[in-house]
């Protein structure tokens, strides 16, 4: 096997956990089933109150580092702490309820090079597939596709539990943003920073089994609103110009509106229409005016008409972004 200039690199696998006794054994077993031979597994436990610690210690394997760390509910802090204790030149991330296929590390590391920010892969979902449909549709199974910053600024196609990257690149980036404002989206914000100067590769091979059930206890309305904070941060850091910032804000508001309407929350209408109005397309602005008119329909009709309206209107953010030239 040839890796990293014909040398076999030590891979540090970062696994944050909290009360995952039910699933963590399967995750650890999948690490030890890897065809790639050289790794260490760093488990960062947020003081679990179940049998998580007992499961980890049952392995009696020197390749496992078990760290107790109070992350104060911020998983970014746990991952950063794990990296600080890593000895490998390559990092990989695996959540304690996910499962790697045996060729995960081997396949991903072969794609990693100095001009690649990170390598991610496709996955097989465990649970409700509707929550991650946009991930599943990003790339064909036998393809490897390169993405740049503007390709992933609108949506996150990268599964954290499939990411492999050089530790030097992670350190240079400053790691995960530990602000509570970026909770649930701190990984996407880091991938964007890494993609500023290097390509991101996504391997279409399904090398990960991603468990959805334990990750759905969050309000998607809140998550969508947090994406506005990413756009604001990157605008203030001059990663995106004013025109792109306006378009991305509009798209965020569309997504926020849809998330509200999906939960029968009619306050989402104002976000949705505000988002469409922010686009450059005259056609979209006309749609917004039509949507606004729906506010004046009788209450018993309004809900169904609004839901039909947003389902029939696809906001093509990619076209808007591609049309923007640097100011």
Last residue of a domain, one of 194, 215, 236: 215
pLDDT per residue, tens digit, the chain (327 aa), is 555 543 579 999 999 999 999 999 999 999 999 999 999 999 999 999 999 999 999 999 999 999 999 999 899 999 999 999 999 999 999 999 999 999 999 999 999 999 999 999 999 988 755 555 445 556 788 899 999 999 998 888 999 999 999 999 999 999 999 998 898 899 999 999 999 999 999 999 999 999 876 554 566 777 778 888 999 999 999 999 988 888 888 888 877 877 777 777 777 777 877 777 676 555 555 655 665 566 566 656 666 666 666 555 555 555 555 665 444
Residue 2, in any domain of the structure: no
- Per DSSP, the residues of 269-327 read HHHHHHHHHTSS-HHHHHHHHHHHHGGGS-HHHHHHHHHHHHHH----HHHHHHT----
**Alpha-carbon distance 254 to 111, whole Å?**
36
Q: Which of 314, 322, 323 is nearest to 276 (CA)?
A: 314
Residue 162, in any domain of the structure: yes
Residue 315, phi-psi category: left (phi > 0), alpha (psi -120 to 50), beta (remainder) = beta
Same domain, 90 and 26: yes
Same domain, 144 and 230: no
Q: Which of 324, 124, 294, 114 is nearest to 209 (CA)?
A: 124
Residue 3, in any domain of the structure: no
According to DSSP, the β-strands at 90-93 and 164-166 are: antiparallel
Same domain, 41 and 186: yes
Query: What angle in degrees, to the nearest 10, is found between the helix axes of 282-293 and 268-277?
Result: 150
- pTM for the predicted model, two decimal places: 0.84
Same domain, 80 and 48: yes
**Alpha-carbon distance 167 to 160, whole Å?**
15
Residue 303, in any domain of the structure: yes
- Which pLDDT score, from 0 to 100, does residue 217 have? 54
Same domain, 225 and 199: no
Using an 8 Å Cβ cutoff, are 147 and 200 in contact? yes
Residue 5, in any domain of the structure: no
Same domain, 314 and 186: no
**Alpha-carbon distance 258 to 262, whole Å?**
6
Same domain, 210 and 278: no
Measured distance between the N- and C-terminal CA atoms of the chain, rounded to whole angstroms: 47
Last residue of a domain, one of 215, 235, 256: 215
Taking the CA atoms of residue 292, residue 294, residue 299 and residue 305 in that order, the dihedral angle to the nearest 10 degrees is -130
Q: What number of CA atoms fall less than 13 Å from residue 30's CA on the CB side?
A: 25
Let me know the angle formed at the C-alpha of 94 by 193 and 144, rounded to the nearest 5 degrees.
60
Same domain, 247 and 189: no
Same domain, 22 and 126: yes
Determine how many CB atoms are found less than 10 A away from the CB of residue 271. 22
Number of domains in the chain: 2
**Alpha-carbon distance 180 to 197, whole Å?**
26
What are the tokens at 135? 């991930």
Using an 8 Å Cβ cutoff, are 297 and 305 in contact? yes
CATH classification at residue 49: 3.90.550.10
Residue 256, in any domain of the structure: yes
Last residue of a domain, one of 215, 242, 266: 215
Same domain, 21 and 79: yes
Residue 4, in any domain of the structure: no
Residue 1, in any domain of the structure: no
Parent domain of 303 = 220-322
Same domain, 22 and 91: yes
Q: From start to end of the chain, where are the E strands?
A: 11-17, 39-45, 64-68, 90-93, 99-100, 116-126, 144-147, 164-166, 199-211
Same domain, 211 and 231: no
**Alpha-carbon distance 14 to 34, whole Å?**
15
Q: Is 54 helix (H, G, I), strand (E, B) or coil?
A: helix
């Amino acid at each position: 096997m040839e890796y990293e200039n014909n040398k076999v690199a030590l891979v540090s696998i970062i696994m944050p956990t909290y009360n995952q006794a039910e699933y963590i054994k399967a995750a650890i077993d999948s690490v030890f089933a890897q065809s790639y031979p050289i790794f260490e597994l760093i488990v960062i436990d947020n003081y679990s109150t179940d049998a998580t610690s007992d499961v980890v210690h049952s392995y009696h394997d020197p390749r496992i580092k078990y760290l107790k760390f109070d992350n104060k509910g911020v998983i970014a802090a746990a991952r950063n702490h794990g990296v600080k204790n890593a000895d490998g030149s390559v990092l990989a991330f695996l959540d304690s309820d996910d499962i790697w296929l045996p060729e995960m590390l081997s396949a991903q590391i072969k794609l990693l090079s100095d001009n690649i920010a990170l390598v991610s892969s496709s996955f097989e979902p465990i649970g409700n597939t509707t929550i991650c449909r946009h991930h599943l549709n990003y790339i064909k199974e036998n393809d490897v596709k390169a993405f740049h910053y503007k390709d992933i600024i609108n949506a996150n196609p990268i599964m954290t539990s499939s990411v492999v990257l050089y530790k030097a690149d992670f350190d240079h980036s400053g790691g995960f943003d530990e602000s509570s404002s970026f909770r649930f989206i701190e990984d996407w914000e880091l991938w964007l920073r890494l993609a500023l100067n290097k390509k991101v590769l996504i391997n279409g091979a399904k090398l990960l089994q991603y468990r959805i059930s334990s990750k759905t206890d969050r309000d998607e309305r809140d998550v969508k609103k947090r994406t506005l904070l990413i756009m604001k941060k990157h605008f203030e850091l001059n990663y995106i110009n004013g025109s792109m910032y306006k378009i991305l804000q509009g798209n965020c508001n569309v997504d926020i509106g849809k998330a509200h309407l999906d939960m029968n929350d009619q306050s989402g209408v104002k976000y949705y229409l505000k988002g469409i109005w922010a686009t450059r397309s005259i056609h979209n602005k006309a749609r917004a005016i039509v949507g606004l008119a729906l506010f004046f329909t009788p209450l018993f009709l309004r809900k169904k008409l609004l839901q039909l309206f947003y389902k029939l209107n696809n906001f093509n953010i990619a076209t808007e972004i591609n049309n923007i030239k640097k100011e």
